[in-house]
Structures are given as structure tokens and as C-alpha cells.
């Protein structure tokens, strides 16, 4: 008999209440008394488990099966009983239960709440827990939601390279990709590693952003987005930095910074609407055990217009709170997490776009404003997470771009193809990058990036 997934039963219990069905999954918990045992089992198709009732005299192998503990893989054949008055809307009365895979007594996921720190040490097993299970289900739903948003808006889904010879952010925080031997590295006459002998014939790195290639695609297709892994060799030991994370990067032609923010706001609202619809059980779990303010916050995203404030004005607004901060808000310095939180949680109490940052703290490709001091940048800050999106209008004037690149230590020869985009029918354009893990943190209220990515890579850790 074909197996029935638990999610299908939740969709339409009545349809499955006729005749025998087979459900295969893993025991979550088993509570037994003399003649009766209640098993919660999960097959991964739904967040909610299925309750299975085993009964002496009615279930074959009752005496063996009642000993199978958490983690055991089983296939249950039985009939579904609708129980609208009980805690769960139905239960499966087992006629037969077959062992698929026994579970060792050393199984670490027993029925109790484990700390997130402990769960990180069992990365191969923690997707089976409610917390990480909810995070990864929301993650999957959010990915589909993003694709559907951009697909409906007519964006081209572009794939940009993971190995690259361009430093998109000009920040130098890149992982080297090489096949040169580390012990006897071939050297040039000057003593530097001889990349001419390397796999690509020059230094190559894991990408920090698909933006530069994304811009080339936007100059052909008008509206594109990328969605892929990016890598940063930043030695940041925070709750919101990973060395490997996923980024969504739209790029739009004939558009300015206001268009860029409008797109970001519409995208975020659409994702929140879709995920709250598709993952009610996961979000209810997070609201109960992780972040009591979650439901209200997500509803707030749908209701309110996001605030917009210039960086210069933001610094002024932060002044009265100076005594609360470790770092004084000073014009010219990047906003610290504490400043971001104050803006989103106290001053505006909603998501806020901060625009027009000082040019010296932003990347070379951002469009220079007429004041000579700032660039047409925008960061979207959200309560709880801080910066979730970073974007800008791009410098489309070839001479200014080239000058700025050189000022910031870039080699114009290495970026010739990027500068070409300005010579061959360049136009006003802009884009942004959404940190996908930060989005999942925001959607679930989970405060640590290590718990919203199945196998996190952070400074000092690449386990599993």
C-alpha cells in the first residue's frame, strides 16, 4: 500500500478516514501504559506530528512496539479516527507497526527542551527538532515566496558566478580559491605567490556578492535578481554574521533610489504575507517559545509604511540617546547595532530605510550625491535584526566611477568590463542585497544566525 504523508491528512482528514492507510515516519515521543501507548510521530511533511494509538490486542506486536523510543523509523498501518473534541483533530489507530530502522539508546534528542548551544553540536540531527525544524521550513517557504514575488513582477532569475576574480565590495574580505600548493608555493621574482601558475592564471576568490555581474545582466534584461550563496572572510563573532550566507540581489535599470526602496518594501511585505499564510504552525511555535512579539511585528510590517530617513538626520535623531550608547553617534561613522536598534525600536518603531550615507563608509560603485560628501545608498533596518538589506543607486557616470574606484584602491584595469557597462549604453540603475538568513531571523524571531541555517559556517567553525 502506498504511504500517506501526514500533511495530506491535515489537508483533508475526512478523505483519509475510510479504510486502512500506511504512514511512515519517526517516533517523536512514546507514552505508554499497560494496554495502551500513544506515539507522536513525524514524517517531516508537516510541522505538527501525528498521534498514533497502539493498543494491546488490537495492534500486532504491541509488546515490542511500545518499547520503540524517540528517533525510531516506523511504518504504521491503521485506520484514522476523527477526534474533533480532543487536542489533536485525529489519531491513527494502529493495526500493525513495522520497524524500519531502530534507534540507538544514545539518541540525543530526548523529550525535553535542549539549549540552542547543545543543538548546534548535533547539526546532523537538529533539523528534527521543533525549533530548527520551524526555522528551516520558514526558510524554504521564504525562498519560494521570493521567487514567486520576482517571477510575478517579470524579473529574470540570473545566476552569477560563485568563483570570481572581482571584489564586488572592494572590502578585501574574500576567501582565496587556489590549487597552488601551500607548502611549496611557486613564487615570482619579487617573492609573491605566482598566480600565473594557478588554476585560473590569476588570483580568484569566492564571491562576496553577485552585484557586479548582476548589473551586466540588468543592462540586458532590465530587471534581474540573483539568489545564491555568498562568502565573507570577516572575523565577525556576532549573532548576525556568517562566513557563508545566501543573498537575494535584484538589479533594475532606468530606476533611482526611490524606486529601489519601493521595490525592497514591496518585496518584504510580499514575503511576510506569503510566509504567514503558508507557515502558521511554525510561526505560532516561534511566537510561543522564541519571540512573544512576533505575530504583532509581522502584522505591523504588512500594515505600516516603512520609514525613510537620511543618514545625516538619523545621526541627529540619535543624539538625545547618546548616554544610552557605548559608541557615540558621530557623522562619518557607520551605525552600530545599538544605533540601528534605537532607530527601529524606539524612534520609528517600524522598519526604516536610512539613506545617503557618507561616501567614505560605502562601496566604490555607489552614486555620488551633489553634496560631494554622501552617496545614494540605502540600508533597510528592522527591529530585532538591524540591517537586513543594503543597496544603492549605482554610479552610471564612467569618469566618476573610475576616479572613485582608483581613490579607494581598486585597479581600474581589473574592473574594465564593469566600467564598459557605462560606456556601452549605460543608464541610471540601482539594486540591493537582502541577507536571506537575516530575513529568516526576522520572520521567526530567532536571534542567532547559526540557528536559521542548517549547517552554519562562521569564523572558527565549519563542522558537518
Interface residues with Mg ion (CB under 5 A)?
390
Confirm if 242 and 456 have CB atoms less than 8 A apart. Answer: yes
> According to CB under 6 A, which one of 401, 437, 442, 452 is a site residue for ligand 4AD?
437
Nearest distance from C-beta of residue 438 to Mg ion, angstroms: 11
Nearest distance from C-beta of residue 336 to ligand 4AD, angstroms: 15
Q: Which region, judged by CB under 6 A, interacts with ligand 4AD, from 123-131, 276-284, 296-304, 427-435?
A: 427-435
Q: Does 198 bind ligand 4AD (CB under 6 A)?
A: no
The binder of 389, among Mg ion, ligand 4AD, none, by C-beta within 5 to 8 A per type, is ligand 4AD
Contacts 24+ apart (CB under 8 A), 77-86: 77/1, 77/20, 77/21, 77/22, 78/20, 78/21, 78/23, 78/52, 79/17, 79/19, 79/20, 79/21, 80/9, 80/13, 80/16, 80/17, 80/21, 81/17, 82/13, 82/14, 82/17
- Dihedrals φ, ψ of 68, to 5°? -75, 120
The binder of 404, among ligand 4AD, Mg ion, none, by C-beta within 5 to 8 A per type, is none
> According to CB under 6 A, which one of 241, 308, 341, 350 is a site residue for ligand 4AD?
241
> According to CB under 6 A, which one of 426, 433, 445, 456 is a site residue for ligand 4AD?
433
How far apart are the C-alpha atoms of 73 and 41, rounded to whole Å? 9
How far apart are the C-alpha atoms of 272 and 210, rounded to whole Å? 24
Centre a 10 Å sphere on the Cβ of residue 298 and count the other Cβ atoms it contains: 20
Q: Which strands make up the sheet holding 204-206, listed edge to edge?
A: 163-164, 204-206, 176-177
Nearest distance from C-beta of residue 437 to Mg ion, angstroms: 14
Sign of dihedral through CA atoms 89, 95, 100, 105?
positive
Distances (CA, A) of 194 to 188, 200, 276: 5, 11, 53
Q: Which region, judged by CB under 6 A, interacts with ligand 4AD, from 39-47, 328-336, 367-375, 429-437?
A: 429-437
Nearest distance from C-beta of residue 302 to ligand 4AD, angstroms: 21
The binder of 260, among ligand 4AD, Mg ion, none, by C-beta within 5 to 8 A per type, is none
Judged by beta carbon, residue 15 or residue 262, the one nearer ligand 4AD is 262
Centre a 10 Å sphere on the Cβ of residue 121 and count the other Cβ atoms it contains: 12
Nearest distance from C-beta of residue 430 to ligand 4AD, angstroms: 8
Site for ligand 4AD in 243-272 (CB under 6 A): 245, 247, 249
Residue written as grid cell 499497560: 34
> According to CB under 6 A, which one of 5, 43, 60, 234 is a site residue for ligand 4AD?
234
The residues that touch ligand 4AD, with contacts defined as CB under 6 A, are: 168-169, 209, 211, 232, 234, 241-242, 245, 247, 249, 387-392, 431-433, 435, 437-438
Amino acid at each position: 500500500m502506498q504511504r500517506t504523508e501526514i500533511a495530506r491528512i491535515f489537508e483533508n482528514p475526512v478523505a483519509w478516514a475510510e479504510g486502512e492507510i500506511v504512514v511512515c515516519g519517526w517516533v517523536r515521543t512514546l507514552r505508554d501504559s499497560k494496554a495502551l501507548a500513544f506515539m507522536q510521530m513525524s514524517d517531516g511533511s508537516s510541522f505538527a506530528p501525528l498521534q498514533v494509538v497502539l493498543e494491546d490486542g488490537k495492534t500486532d506486536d504491541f509488546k515490542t512496539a511500545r518499547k520503540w523510543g524517540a528517533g525510531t523509523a516506523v511504518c504504521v498501518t491503521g485506520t484514522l479516527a476523527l477526534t474533533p473534541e480532543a487536542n489533536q483533530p485525529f489519531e491513527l489507530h494502529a493495526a500493525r507497526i513495522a520497524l524500519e530502522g531502530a534507534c540507538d539508546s544514545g539518541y540525543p534528542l530526548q523529550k525535553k527542551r535542549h539549549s540552542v548551544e547543545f543543538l548546534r553540536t548535533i547539526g546532523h540531527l537538529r533539523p528534527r527538532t521543533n525549533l530548527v525544524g520551524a526555522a528551516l521550513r520558514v526558510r524554504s517557504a521564504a525562498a519560494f515566496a521570493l521567487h514567486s514575488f520576482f517571477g510575478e513582477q517579470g524579473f529574470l532569475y540570473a545566476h552569477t558566478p560563485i568563483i570570481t576574480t572581482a571584489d564586488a565590495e572592494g572590502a578585501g574580505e574574500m576567501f582565496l580559491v587556489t590549487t597552488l600548493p601551500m607548502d611549496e608555493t611557486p613564487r615570482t621574482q619579487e617573492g609573491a605567490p605566482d598566480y600565473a601558475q594557478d588554476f585560473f592564471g590569476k588570483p580568484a576568490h569566492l564571491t562576496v556578492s553577485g552585484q557586479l555581474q548582476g548589473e551586466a545582466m540588468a543592462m540586458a534584461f532590465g530587471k534581474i535578481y540573483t539568489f545564491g550563496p555568498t562568502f565573507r572572510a570577516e572575523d565577525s563573532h556576532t549573532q548576525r554574521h556568517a562566513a557563508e550566507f545566501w543573498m537575494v540581489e535584484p538589479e533594475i535599470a532606468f530606476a533611482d533610489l526611490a524606486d529601489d526602496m519601493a521595490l525592497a518594501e514591496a518585496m518584504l511585505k510580499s514575503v511576510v504575507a506569503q510566509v504567514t499564510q503558508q507557515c502558521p504552525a511554525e510561526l505560532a511555535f516561534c511566537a510561543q517559545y522564541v519571540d512573544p512579539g512576533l505575530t504583532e511585528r509581522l502584522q505591523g510590517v504588512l500594515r505600516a509604511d516603512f520609514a525613510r530617513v537620511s543618514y545625516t538626520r538619523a545621526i541627529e535623531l540619535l543624539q538625545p540617546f547618546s548616554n544610552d550608547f557605548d559608541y557615540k553617534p558621530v557623522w562619518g561613522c557607520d551605525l552600530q547595532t545599538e544605533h540601528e536598534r534605537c532607530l527601529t525600536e524606539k524612534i520609528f518603531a517600524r522598519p526604516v530605510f536610512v539613506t545617503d550615507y557618507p561616501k567614505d563608509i560605502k562601496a566604490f560603485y555607489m552614486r555620488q550625491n551633489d553634496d560631494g560628501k554622501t552617496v545614494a545608498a540605502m540600508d533597510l533596518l528592522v527591529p530585532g535584526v538591524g540591517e537586513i538589506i543594503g543597496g544603492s543607486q549605482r554610479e552610471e557616470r564612467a569618469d566618476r566611477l573610475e576616479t572613485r574606484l582608483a581613490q579607494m584602491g581598486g585597479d581600474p584595469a581589473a574592473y574594465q568590463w564593469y566600467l564598459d557597462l557605462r560606456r556601452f549604453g549605460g543608464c541610471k540603475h540601482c539594486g540591493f542585497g537582502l541577507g536571506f538568513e537575516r530575513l529568516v531571523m526576522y520572520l521567526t524571531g530567532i536571534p542567532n544566525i547559526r540557528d536559521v541555517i542548517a549547517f552554519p559556517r562562521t569564523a572558527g567553525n565549519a563542522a558537518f
